[in-house]
Every structure is written in C-alpha cells, then in structure tokens.
Amino acid sequence: MKAPSRTLALTEELISLSSITPDDGGCQRRIIELLEPLGFTCETVVSNGVTNLWARKGTHAPVLVFAGHTDVVPTGPAAKWTSDPFKPEIREGKLYGRGASDMKTSLAAMVVAVEEFIEANPGHKGSIAFLVTSDEEGDAVDGTAVVVEQLKEREESLDYCIVGEPTSAHILGDTIKNGRRGSLSGHLVIKGIQGHIAYPQLARNPIHQAAPALAELAAEHWDEGNEYYAPTSFQISNIKAGTGANNVIPGELCIDFNFRFSTASTADGLEARVHAILDHHNLEYDLQWTLSGRPFLTPKGTLSDAVCQAICDETGVHTELSTTGGTSDGRFIAEICPQVIEFGPPNASIHKIDEHIEVRFIDPLKNIYRRTLEKLLS
C-alpha cells in the first residue's frame, strides 16, 4: 500500500488552525515543533499583534530561505462553503479549506521537503532558513518587513529565497514569479469653489477643471517596460464630488489612482510627471502619495534555473517566468536577498468560497522544493 502523504497530513493540520489575518492561530508554533529537532534555531518576533518566525539551520553561505505566511483572508459567508472552511475535506480529488492554495500547502511542502533533504543530506553545505509571517494578507506592516529590518541590523546576508505564493496558472509548475511590479497610489483633491449651479460665474467647478488633466494622465505612455515587465499602467479607481444635490457646484473633486510600475520607471519619476501634468493645467490641488512596494526582479540565473529544472524533472512541465499579479512579501525580502523566486500551487481558487487544491499536486510540490535544495545545497 502507498504510504500516507506526510505533506497532505500537515497541510490538513495547518488548515484546521484558523488563522484569519493577522492571527497566526498556532501555525508557527507547530512549524517550530517540526524544525527544532532538525537543528533549526527558531526566533519568534511579535510586532503589534503580528507573529513572525525566523528559523535558521547552519551558519555558512549560501543561505536558502523558504518564505511564506500563515494568515489567511476571511472566509466570507461560511454558509456558502460546501464544508467548514477550517475543517479540511477531500472531495473528488481536491482538498478544500481556507488556505489550501494560499498558502498552507506550500508551507507544509516546504517543511516536509526540508525534513527529507536533511535526512538524506545531513552534511549539506550552506544554510536553510524559514521566514514566516501572519501579516501578509493584512497591512503587511508588522510582518516580513519587520523581520527583514532585524536581519539588516544583524548584517545577515541571504543568497536565495523561495516564496511559496500560489503562482501556477493551470497546472503545477507552469508559472513562477521572478519579480513583481511596484505599487504607487495617489489620493488627489482638486480644489474648486462651491456655488449655485445657476450662477457658475460665482463658482469654480473642479470637475470641469480636472477633466483635461485626467484625460492626459489616462493617455500618458509612462514607459516601454522591458524584457520581464509590461509597460507601467495607470488606473483611476475612485472619483467623488458633489453634495448629493443636483443644483450645487462641488467645492472639490477627490480622485484615487494607482500605478503598477516596472523597473523601467521609478516612484520618484512617476510622481514628478504627475505633478508636472497637474501644474500644466493650472490646477489647485493636494496630492498624497503612498508607495506600497517597489518593483523587484530576479533575472534568469542560479535560483530560477534550479527551480525551473526541478519543476521539469518532477512534472515534465516547462515553466514560464512572469512578473504579473499583485504585490507580495518578496518585495521586502529582495532588499536583502539578490535572488527571490515565488513558486507554489495553482491560484484559481485563492480567496474564493470553497478554496481548494488538487491533491495530485501536493506531493509533487514538496518534491520540487526538495529537488531545488538538492541542486543548490548538496
């Protein structure tokens, strides 16, 4: 008989620990119980109610880090789930539960891969580490970023990092992320003069004033992108003005917009160009900027080659490198690690009702992580 899957069992165990962001739910404590007997030194870093784990085995380079998060998004209406979101259930070859794809399967696969690798290679070269947070799905302020700052202060250098985000599109291994776009948001307030709509000469309509500038911003070509990135995009997400009455010219217009930008642009450069367009149209305005993350990129090299080859060896799939999608904690880790790759299971059901992963992908995911360890640290 085929032995029960250790990775599946651990995945089910982690799913059963309800950990809606920023609550860890005891997941990291369970991971520590498994890592310490392998020789890992485990540090728990708590910041404003967020639980983080930094665990490391070894003191020499190269250092390979497995990174991820134990927190999950809220379930939504539990009654709409076919089964309890925190009671893992297998139906028709799929494991259901909140976090099944994002990303408790990846965490379980990483831990079991390390167990198997160390058992087979007790004298392996380099070091293995884990960086795990309960603040990835939330504000991402007190999680990975805090641990990275501590590592900076201690002058700990990292060489390779695999983030277990669900990157596959259709089948396991068809896509890995070798970078992410930056995210820059603006809250723009165009100032006018409120007045009666029948006496426009006594008012100043900020909607009318802003329209040409907004059209120019929407039509602007910000950059060409590059080998790894599509051109930078600008999108307006919200516009609000008026008192609700149809006979009042509003006194101000509020606009929220966002850039998803490549390494072909910088946040400072984009900000300067927006201000130049607004100033060109002689607008009176306030503009507040929020930089959620800078773009990061790992060009083709040692880590991406190792992960791609491990995927091919395990599944026969030839992987596509991609930088699409939202932000991830890879943006923080890239500040101290020159090679960061994101790789995990298919992402079609993440954040949805009845989140799931196909059981047939669980052990191959673990094997790919183990094969990568073998290629880099054997």
Token readout for 1 is: 């008989």
pLDDT at residue 2 greater than cutoff 80: no
Please give the Cα distance from 158 to 64 (Å, whole number). 7
pLDDT at residue 369 greater than cutoff 80: yes
pLDDT at residue 211 greater than cutoff 70: yes
> What one-letter code names the amino acid at 367?
N
pLDDT digits (tens, 9 = 90+) for 12-37: 999 999 999 999 999 999 999 999 99
pLDDT digits (tens, 9 = 90+) for 226-241: 989 999 999 999 999 9
Q: Quick check: is 363 catalytic?
A: no
Angle between helices 267-280 and 206-219 (to 10 degrees): 140
Contact assessment for residue 90 and residue 12, using Cβ atoms and an 8 Å cutoff: no
Give the pLDDT of residue 325: 84
Give the pLDDT of residue 293: 87
Q: What is the mean pLDDT of residues 83-97?
A: 98
Distances (CA, A) of 50 to 107, 139, 144: 18, 10, 10
Distance of CA 279 to the CA centre of its chain: 35
Give the pLDDT of residue 4: 81
Give the pLDDT of residue 326: 81
Q: Which of 24, 71, 137, 314 is catalytic?
A: 71
Give the pLDDT of residue 1: 58
Distance of CA 149 to the CA centre of its chain: 18
pLDDT at residue 3 greater than cutoff 90: no
Contact assessment for residue 100 and residue 361, using Cβ atoms and an 8 Å cutoff: no
Q: Quick check: is 135 catalytic?
A: no
pLDDT digits (tens, 9 = 90+) for 272-305: 999 999 999 999 999 999 998 889 999 999 999 9
Please give the Cα distance from 113 to 284 (Å, whole number). 58
Mean pLDDT over each residue of the chain, to the nearest integer = 96
pLDDT at residue 73 greater than cutoff 70: yes
Q: What is the mean pLDDT of residues 138-167?
A: 96
- Please, which residues bridge with residue 57 across strands? 128
Q: Which of 136, 142, 165, 355 is catalytic?
A: 136
